[in-house]
Amino acid sequence: RAKAEGRGTWRFYEAAMDARAQARRSLQSDLRLALDRREFSLMFQPIIDLATSRVAVVETLLRWTHHGRGPVPPDKFIPLAEETGLIVPIGEWVLRHACEEALHWPAGIRVAVNLSPVQFRDASLLRVVDAALRDSGLPPERLELEITESVFLEADDTVLATLHALRSRGVSFALDDFGTGYSSLSYLRSFPFDKVKIDKSFVHASTGDSGSLAIVRAIIGMANSLGMTVIAEGVETQEQLGLVHAQGCMQVQGYFFSRPLPANGIRDYIDSPSPAALTAFATHAADV
Ligand code: C2E
Ligand code: MG
Ligand code: MG
Ligand code: MG
């Protein structure tokens, strides 16, 4: 009897696995059509410079609104796009539209674009970035590429050569999600990043636990001494802002300032004299 029950459980498990694999496959084939169906859009989130109280950079964040399911979160569809290689054409679309959108902003503001490691393994990356810059007319100095450490996991000479070639054009690089993953400091030596982005999990934990605070402090100290700018990601509260600022972090991004906005929303945000959240912070900081 126990045996029969076991078999039943197994069948149930198998059926559930099949359903899940089936759902993945259908999402994958829809992803293949999403570009043609114009289901992608871009959102833009400001990164504030605390020295000037103004927007320094705007990060481009991809959105997929599936015709039947509605919004599919990036954490779900980006991995699928990576597995299928679709991230290459999708990433090119993002890059082109981000460069075009940035031309509507004051020339001092840069646009940040996330790049997947898969895009680096594709021989066309350099050509794709060059074409996006040339066709839009955006100066390379206004483009910032965000990459994660995983780019270096399979880094061969070609990947490094591509990074250096882009950098020599004036494009800058930020190491995204720093503190998660492998966080080998040797990556910082093998490639000269302009910026490090502290992952939001540390920013969130830093107000409650001293270990995370110590990590945040160490990252900021190290990055500053290597001449890199530090961006704190996921700043949601005044307390988190005060804390990362006190540690010497000069650029901040998060819901405390603004959620990711559509194109017209970010234009308005840039035009407003200074983020309301920051005014409140400055007043408070002057009090203490
Ligand atoms: P990321 O590059 O680390 O982007 C930051 C993520 O944090 C975004 O999530 C953003 O909406 C979210 N965020 C910003 N401020 C806050 C905050 O105060 N609190 C919290 N809880 N979250 C905040 P999103 O848009 O869901 O994107 C998730 C990830 O998907 C990105 O992480 C990036 O790795 C990837 N991604 C998004 N767009 C693209 C793209 O065009 N290409 C590639 N390759 N990856 C992308
Ligand atoms: Mg990013
Ligand atoms: Mg990040
Ligand atoms: Mg992330």
Does residue 174 have a pLDDT over 60? Answer: yes
* pTM of the predicted protein model: 0.93
Residue carrying structure tokens 């490639």 = 191
pLDDT value of position 199: 93
Does residue 1 have a pLDDT over 60? Answer: no
Strands 70-72 and 54-66: antiparallel
pLDDT value of position 55: 97
pLDDT value of position 119: 95
More confident residue, 172 or 179: 172
- The model's confidence at residue 183, banded by pLDDT at 50, 70 and 90, is low
Measuring from each residue's beta carbon to the nearest atom of ligand 1, which residues come in under 6 Å? 45, 61-62, 73-75, 78, 91, 94, 114-116, 146, 176-177, 200, 233-236, 253-255, 260
One-letter amino acid of 247: Q
Range of weakest confidence among 43-52, 102-111, 140-149, 270-279: 270-279
- The model's confidence at residue 16, banded by pLDDT at 50, 70 and 90, is confident
Q: Which residue has the CA at smallest separation from atom 13 of ligand 1?
A: 234
Range of weakest confidence among 61-65, 119-123, 179-183: 179-183
Atom number of ligand 1 nearest to Cα 146: 2
In a mutational test of the pocket of ligand 1, which residue from 78, 83, 180, 257 has the highest number of ligand atoms less than 8 Å from its CB? 78
Does residue 4 have a pLDDT over 70? Answer: no
Residue 114 CA to ligand 3 center (angstroms) comes to: 9
Residue 42 CA to ligand 4 center (angstroms) comes to: 16
Does residue 103 have a pLDDT over 90? Answer: yes
ipTM for the whole predicted complex goes beyond 0.95: yes
Q: Which residue has the CA at smallest separation from atom 27 of ligand 1?
A: 74
Does residue 229 have a pLDDT over 60? Answer: yes
Q: For the residues 23-40, what does the mean pLDDT come to?
A: 93
Q: Which residue has the CA at smallest separation from atom 19 of ligand 1?
A: 234
- The model's confidence at residue 132, banded by pLDDT at 50, 70 and 90, is very high
pLDDT above 70: percentage of residues in the chain: 95
pLDDT value of position 184: 66
pLDDT value of position 286: 65
Q: For the residues 121-146, what does the mean pLDDT come to?
A: 96
pLDDT value of position 34: 96
More confident residue, 24 or 183: 24
Q: For the residues 4-28, what does the mean pLDDT come to?
A: 78
Q: For the residues 243-259, what does the mean pLDDT come to?
A: 95
Does residue 288 have a pLDDT over 60? Answer: no
